[in-house]
Structure 1
Amino acid sequence: MAIEITHVRFGSTKKTEDEIVRFRWTNITTGTTGDNDKRTMVAWVEKEENSAFAGSGTDHVEVRVVRPRFGQPYLRTYADGQWTNNLVNLPAF
């Protein structure tokens, strides 16, 4: 299954990928929508059969899991061989 992450919610005033606590998304195939907390989304993205993206058209980039040495795993975008910050630029909900 593939989804597009459309909105994010931050858990503090610091607006970085690791501070995102909730994600709103749209299923790319069916158009269904939903939202999930960070832990659920990290587990979902880690499954091989799933893929997540941020943006659409030529601006769509892959979302992957980051596992820092210290702290909890979180989602971040990855494009052209580099980690990017597209998720923090999404609208908040």
Structure 2
Amino acid sequence: MADCRITRITKKNRQSTHDHITHAGNPPTWYWKREDIIASINNKTNTFYVLENGNRSDVGVVNPTDGRSPFLRTYADNVWNDNLLALPEHTP
């Protein structure tokens, strides 16, 4: 199992602060679709994290009960937060 740092994201709408992430990774080493990262977390084949000001936030999967698709979110100090959305955009 690899512990993978995410440094860049891609969203459908770059201007949105709440839009779903479509891809994430650490280019040029790796850059995956959201669904592949979710599958890897759910299958426990890899862990993912972001660093902000030297502080680690683990990436987890949120499974909404209202019919929306699962999505990625960071988790630190027992709180879900949006550190992923603060990462720089990557244009593949």
Could you state the TM-score of these two structures normalised by the residue count of structure 2?
A: 0.83
Query: Matched residues in 2 for 1:47 and 1:56: separation?
Result: 26
Aligned length: 87
Higher percent of residues as helix: 1
Cα deviation digits, residues 48-81 of structure 1 (max 9, x gap): 2421101167311100000011211111000110
- After superposition, residues 69-84 of structure 1 pair within 5 angstroms as 69=65, 70-84=67-81
Structure 2 partner of 1:14: 16
SS of equivalent residue, structure 1 residue 55: strand
Query: Matched residues in 1 for 2:17 and 2:53: separation?
Result: 25
Q: Which ranges of structure 2 fall in alignment gaps of 5 or more residues?
A: none
Q: Which ranges of structure 1 fall in alignment gaps of 5 or more residues?
A: 27-31
1:86 aligns with 2:83: yes
Q: 1:56 to 1:49 in 2, by over 3 A?
A: farther
